[in-house]
Amino acid sequence: MSLAADYGAVFTRWNTWALMANQDISMRYRRSFLGPFWLSIALGSLVLGIGLLFAEVQRQPFRDFLTFFGCGMLAWTYLQTVTSEACSCVIDNEDNLRNLPLPVPLLSARVAYRNLVMFAHNAVIIGVMIALLGKPLTLLSLWSLVGLALYLPFALFLGAVLGPICARFRDVPQVIATIMQLMFFLTPILWVPHEAMSRPIIYEANPFYHLLEVVRAPMLGQMPTDMNWIVSVSTVAILGVLAVIVTALTRKQIFLWL
């Protein structure tokens, strides 16, 4: 098998990653009526509780802020979960990889798709919340789907980059977890950026901000800026190049690192 075949497998063997991801989701429904919705409910109550508090702290109208925070958390949950699961996509498949030739992109496609299903669950809860808050979605909100379409290659490439690295260097997942915790506070999710900020570079230099905006802004009835699109697409493109490089360098080594 070659490098191209490793990535081609994402298309030719989509049954395999889709089946793995569907089994992951169905495991969360096992003997539980709400299954993965429990995670969505946890997210919803977090948004409601923290949202009300921070609306007060930041003197924001609570309807607007809750909508902003809810949509932000919806997108952030995807970005953050795929980043942490990207780290474990190879390690979690040690048994399989020791005994079967499985391309890494297949394993990261599983993560990307599984979290898309989780996103859909969360979107139901957040959607209901937004509707109750009297902030209905508009036609413009459909642009969120375009933004979401960028999340899939983002997750796919991230797993192909981080999966093998984390298998070799087992403390990288901890480093990534620490960074992501920091990123949550550096990215405008819990706080609203405003014109008067003297250093907008704090969030403008953060690719997660732009990735967040391409999904969040349309939900809030705004079009993402050109800058948002450019940075998001470039981030995915750069990750894509890194992914191919990492795969080329590690595809014959991963077996040694399990």
Partner 1 sequence: MAAKIKLDNASFKYPIYALASRSLKVSMFRQATGGSIGDKGGVVYVQALSNISFELSPGDRLGIIGRNGSGKSTMLRVLAGLAHPQSGTVTVEGRVVPLIEKALGINPELSGYANIELPLRLLGATRAEVKKAQQEIPEFCGLGRFIHLPFRTYSDGMKTRLAFAISTALQADILVLDEWLAAGDLEFQERAEVRLTKLLDDTEIVVLASHAPQLIEYVCNKTLWMHGGEMVMLGPTREVLEAYQRSTHNPISLAYAATG
* Interface ranges with partner 1 (CB under 8 A): 1, 13, 15-16, 19-20, 23, 26-27, 30, 95-102, 168-172, 175, 252, 255-257
Count the alpha carbons within 13 Å of 33 in the hemisphere toward its beta carbon: 0
In angstroms, what is the minimal distance from the CB of 25 to partner 1? Answer: 12
Give whichever of 183 and 254 is closer to partner 1, judged by the CB atom. 254
If the CB atoms of residues 20 and 43 are measured against partner 1, the closer one turns out to be 20
Q: Of the candidates 166, 20, 187, 150, which has an alpha carbon nearest to the alpha carbon of residue 87?
A: 166
Question: Is the CB of 24 or the CB of 64 nearer to partner 1?
Answer: 24
The least CB distance from residue 191 to partner 1, in Å, is 32
H or E stretch covering 85: helix 62-88
- CB nearer partner 1, residue 100 or residue 196: 100
For residue 112, the minimal CB distance to partner 1 (Å) is 18
- Residue 4 CB burial class (10 angstroms; 0-12, 13-18, ≥19): exposed
Q: Dihedral sign for Cα 42, 44, 45, 49, please.
A: positive
Closest CA to 58 of 173, 197, 156, 152: 197
Query: Min. distance of Cβ 157 from partner 1 in angstroms?
Result: 21
CB of 253 to partner 1, least distance (A): 8
Question: CA 28 to CA 59: how far, in whole Å?
Answer: 39
The number of C-alpha atoms within 13 Å of 1 and in the hemisphere containing its C-beta is: 15
The phi and psi torsions of 169 (rounded to 5 degrees) equal: -115, 100
Shortest distance (Å) from residue 255 CB to partner 1: 5
d(CA 82, CA 107): 12
Helix extents (H) in 30-61: 37-57
Provide, rounded to whole angstroms, the least separation between the CB of residue 179 and partner 1.
Answer: 13
- CA end-to-end span of the chain: 20
